[in-house]
Amino acid sequence: DAGVIQSPRHEVTEMGQEVTLRCKPISGHDYLFWYRQTMMRGLELLIYFNNNVPIDDSGMPEDRFSAKMPNASFSTLKIQPSEPRDSAVYFCASKVAGSQETQYFGPGTRLLVL
């Protein structure tokens, strides 16, 4: 299995621009999670989906952030407009149903907003 795939791996953009991060979960996994990692705040859960439906978006920092999962094999996290404080590493993870089941992480997208 190819694992969780994220693109791009690195993104540099200017403040005010729209940024779209992409994730392909492991085939057969029905949960998908978006995390953000920063030095200041550590690893934060932004949102997660079950069977393509958003279940908990309480971690989404503000309205500039939005996430979609149009089908079982694809999800996006969009930031519009981007700000320098959004600079972070964004991870996508997926798992099968069951609270004890392992979440498998992608390699992350390193975002720098200038």
Work out whether strand 65-71 and strand 53-56 pair parallel, antiparallel, or are unpaired: unpaired
Find out whether 83 and 15 touch, Cβ atoms under 8 Å: yes
The 24-63 site mask, x for binding another protein (CB under 8 A), equals -------x-x--------xx-x--x-x----xx-------
Among 91, 95, 90, residue whose Cα is nearest residue 51: 95
Site map (CB under 8 A) of another protein, residues 62-101, x = contact: -----------------------------x-x-x-x-xx-
Nearest to 99 by CA among 55, 63, 66: 55
Q: Does 8 interact with another protein (rule: CB under 8 A)?
A: no
Closest approach, Cβ 7 to another protein, in A, equals 13
CA dist., res. 71 & res. 53, Å (int): 9
Q: Does 105 engage in binding with another protein (CB under 8 A)?
A: yes
- Under rule CB under 8 A, residue 102 binds another protein: yes
